[in-house]
Amino acid sequence: MTTGVAGDTRQQRWAPMLFIGLGTALIIMDATIVNVSLPSIIRELQINSIDAEWVNAIYSLVFAALLIIAGRVGDRVGRRLMFVSGAVVFGIASIVAARTGDGTALIAARALQGVGGAMMSPTSLSLVNSIYTGRSRNIAFAIYGSIIGGMAAIGPLLGGWLTEHHSWRWAFYINVPIVVIIVIGSLLVVPESKDDHFDPGFDVGGAILSALGIGLLVFALIEGRNYGWVTTTSDATLFGTTWSSGGISPVLIALVISATALVSLYLLEQRRAAASRSVLIDLTLFRIPTFSFGSIAGLIVSLGEFGILFSLPLFLQSVLGYTAFGAGAMLASLAIGAFFAGPTAAQLAAARSPRFVARLGMALEIVGIVGLGLTLSTTMSGWVISFWLIVYGVGVGYASAQLTSLILADVPRRKSGQASGTQSTARQIGSALGTAVLGTVLFVSLAHNTEKNLQAVPGLTDVQRTEISTAVEQSAGTIIPSLGAKPGGEAVASAAGEAFATSIRWTALTAAVFVGLGLLATLKLPPDGRREDDLTELLDPETTTP
């Protein structure tokens, strides 16, 4: 059941979108706002590059692990209730993050933010899907996609300004008044909606397997270079257990358990569906081509997008000498492109097709990332960086807006909570994997390239080269400016800076490959989406779509 929006005026019809959009902006912004603050956080809290990856990735990891569960609970108890409750959790977590004094507590607070974000994200999409219909729904999805693309870039700008003029802690404090506005506004103007066809049972086993499989996968990808992929590289302690050097690595065990959990999840969902019991993931949704291939494309594109947004601010500050705000302002070039794309995406989709616009967006993303990667250097002009980021931002705006619309276009309204939770999970898995995979590419190559470049610096022993390259890698490059400040350290800092440029170049090109794979996935999208009535038999031959 979906209650109508009170009143009939244009302003009243779009009032819910204001607060739903603000909530979406908040959770997307916090996926990137800490990126330009990381160097300050690393220095103040004395954390290493592994911890820095966790500060960034734990948010997306918890987000992804709980999205489907939160979407299903929202369908049952009320989507607005879940959205507002998630905002409250998010606000509390932000206060904890702002007041923390060590890296472990900050990572825990970011995890709690992920819980709040997971409660808000799928319910925001399903609220849009249930409130708006026809042309209004297309406009709402275009707004939603533009928010995703734009806030991913505005986050670093705001985070940089707050870090430079106040403290990195204000990147979290600023969430509190926004949460208050979201809660009050949503309770006043956003209509409540539930799924009247919701099965009274709950798939507890599916929830556990989903969280376990996704969580351990991202854990393994981030910690692989720390503990070793197959065997443990040095004596280590994890969760109270000692892992001896040369023995089996906890990362390998995590990968095996993750694969087992995800396969078991698939088999469990099939068995429960066959027995007409409630399921966490409705596998019949993947019979809809727009949903299945669109979700795959969204996952892969997010991997490329968020991975590059994690690595580029580190290079801008540690090598090119930008301040936190300067790095954020540079990344705001992406927002310029994304906001330009937003108003034109719907018009272009109407003139051509949503599928065409999504492909055009991903193609522009590839051009932007490849251009950035090929021209990147330690003497690179900010204007050149801005140009490539604007091209990339236009692509993000087009791709984000139309992929969201395509994925949910053919999904019956009664399945909107399930579908939005699943597709949001795919995107968040992509962003968590982006930090993990591209972060690994960045830091492994950074250590290797630094040690290689230091061979040309006279007077250094093998031990010194190894120590310097390890310090550069573990500090995520933030130590490079201090290397140059030491007597005779200019050559060492230059070698490390060149190594960072090479590593970022490979990271960017790797991101472009992933976006290219997402573009290939869209080739399987059907030319025209089928209407909801035409999909009834495909999804559930025995059920009529209300």
Domain 10-202+288-448+501-527, CATH? 1.20.1250.20
- Residue 158 CB partners (closer than 8 Å, separation 6+): 29, 33, 171, 174, 328
What three-state secondary structure class fits 368?
helix
**φ/ψ (deg, to 5) at 237:** -120, 130
Domain range summary for the chain, segments of one domain joined by +: 10-202+288-448+501-527, 203-277
What pLDDT does residue 76 have? 78
Residue 45's nearest CA partner among 483, 534, 493, 478 is 478
What pLDDT does residue 63 have? 78
The residue whose two tokens read 């376990």 is: 212
CB-based contact 272:203 (threshold 8 Å) = yes
What pLDDT does residue 260 have? 95
How far is the C-alpha of 70 from the C-alpha of 418, rounded, in Å? 9
CB-based contact 147:28 (threshold 8 Å) = yes
What pLDDT does residue 533 have? 42
- Residue 442 CB partners (closer than 8 Å, separation 6+): 311, 503, 504, 506, 507
**φ/ψ (deg, to 5) at 2:** -125, 120
- Residue 368 CB partners (closer than 8 Å, separation 6+): 388, 389, 390, 391, 392, 393, 394, 395
Low-confidence ranges of the chain (pLDDT < 50): 1-9, 529-546
**φ/ψ (deg, to 5) at 536:** -60, -50
Residue 187's nearest CA partner among 87, 70, 72 is 87
What pLDDT does residue 543 have? 39
Region class of 298: left (phi > 0), else alpha (psi between -120 and 50), else beta: alpha
How far is the C-alpha of 223 from the C-alpha of 53, rounded, in Å? 9
How far is the C-alpha of 376 from the C-alpha of 542, rounded, in Å? 57
- What are the tokens at 237? 């302690």
- What are the tokens at 329? 């302002």
What pLDDT does residue 131 have? 80
Residue 309's nearest CA partner among 284, 291, 327, 287 is 327
Helices (H), 240-381: 250-274, 289-318, 324-351, 354-375
How far is the C-alpha of 440 from the C-alpha of 507, rounded, in Å? 9
pTM: 0.71
